[in-house]
């Protein structure tokens, strides 16, 4: 399943820095509502738009974290900031929060199954951390 969010340019730069320079395997995107159509494992993608254009996507976990202490945005989408894939900077319609995508933007390939470098633990794929 493909989801889309809009990030400010500085926020996207921070997420990319976390993955590239710091090697963080997991980052989060906080939201008010939880997506119900995500598939198990790392088979989903989080597409990012910034400054009115699609920029790329991150692998997105099928799990979301719930924080009952955060009333404003109690859910967190989990993605792998090390595996950013840039796409053509096609124009993006304006939206808030996140939304499902029926087709990938910017010439991105259709969703694939588990990547060859992922491992499976307890029936779920996890990003490599080494």
Is-contact 78 64, C-beta < 8 A? yes
DSSP strand E in the chain: where? 2-6, 27-31, 44-50, 53-66, 75-79, 85-86, 98-101, 119-121, 124-126
Q: Could you tell me the residue ranges of all domains in the chain?
A: 2-93
The pLDDT value recorded for residue 117 is 52
pLDDT at 95 over 50: yes
Number of residues written out for the chain = 130
Is-contact 98 92, C-beta < 8 A? no
pLDDT at 100 over 60: yes
The pLDDT value recorded for residue 55 is 96
Q: Indicate the pLDDT class of residue 126, thresholds 50, 70 and 90.
A: low
- Dist CA 127 CA 119 (whole Å): 7
Rounded to 5°, the CA angle 49-105-53 comes to 30
Topology adopted by domain 2-93: 2.30.130
pLDDT by residue (tens digit) across 49-70?
A: 999 999 999 999 999 999 999 9
The pLDDT value recorded for residue 116 is 41
The pLDDT value recorded for residue 123 is 47
């Amino acid at each position: 399943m493909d989801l889309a969010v809009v990030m400010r340019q500085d926020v996207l730069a921070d997420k990319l820095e976390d993955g590239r320079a710091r090697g963080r395997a997991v980052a989060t995107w906080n939201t008010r509502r939880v997506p119900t159509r995500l598939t198990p494992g790392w088979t989903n993608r989080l597409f990012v738009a910034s400054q009115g254009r699609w920029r790329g996507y991150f692998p997105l976990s099928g799990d979301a974290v719930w924080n009952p202490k955060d009333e404003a945005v109690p859910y967190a989408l989990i993605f792998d900031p090390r595996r950013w894939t840039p796409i053509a900077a096609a124009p993006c319609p304006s939206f808030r929060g996140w939304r499902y995508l029926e087709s990938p933007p910017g010439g991105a390939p259709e969703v694939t199954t588990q990547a060859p470098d992922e491992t499976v633990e307890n029936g779920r794929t996890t990003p490599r951390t080494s």
